[in-house]
Amino acid sequence: MSTRIKSDKIAGTDVEIHATENGHWLVMGDDGEGNFSVRLGHSETLSAAKKQAQTELAKKKVKVAVPFVVIRWQDGSVPYFSRGIAHSLHAKSNDALVRYDDGETDSIGSYGVVFNGDTPRMTLDNYAKLATERKAIQDAMRQIESTYKIDLRSAVRQAINAEATKEAA
């Protein structure tokens, strides 16, 4: 919990300065929707919190070009690879903002597998083969589980209840 102390400008950006219950300072930035809910800086001193905020704001203005490759699944079963460039991070979710070579834009979080842009094609093909085999194995395992898997605690509880009912009769 924090208390808003004042509005300020850091690196030309409107921010709010907050004080926390335990005596720390927070510098909050706009989330793009008019709410000051993005934490840009946090420290025991106001000057250190402002310095963190200044660094975070500078990071948001920088554009980079990080090449990558992701595996995708056509119709849920045929793997293919998409190459692209990650150029920045989303302000709220911190997902990587990307543009694929075909022009499509997207964001990529921490889920899934993302390969370095210079991963050899043979390695990617081998990965796709293994991923396809794993998917087939997982499907087969799910089929066996759906047929034979039990909740052992429930089965034991039912057996105990059935035996206890017989003995009580």
Per-residue pLDDT tens, the chain, 169 aa: give them: 788 888 888 888 888 899 988 889 989 888 777 788 788 889 898 899 999 988 888 887 888 999 999 988 888 778 889 999 999 888 778 899 999 999 999 999 988 889 999 999 999 999 999 988 998 999 999 999 999 999 999 999 999 999 999 988 8
Phi, psi of 21 (to 5 degrees): -65, -30
Give the predicted TM-score (pTM) of the model.
0.60
Q: Choose among 46, 48, 14, 49: nearest CA to 29.
A: 14
> What is the C-alpha to C-alpha distance for residues 131 and 142, in angstroms, rounded to an integer?
16
> What is the C-alpha to C-alpha distance for residues 138 and 103, in angstroms, rounded to an integer?
33
Please report the domains of the chain, with CATH numbers, ordered by start residue.
2-61 (no CATH), 66-126 (2.30.30)
**Both tokens of residue 119?**
């991963």
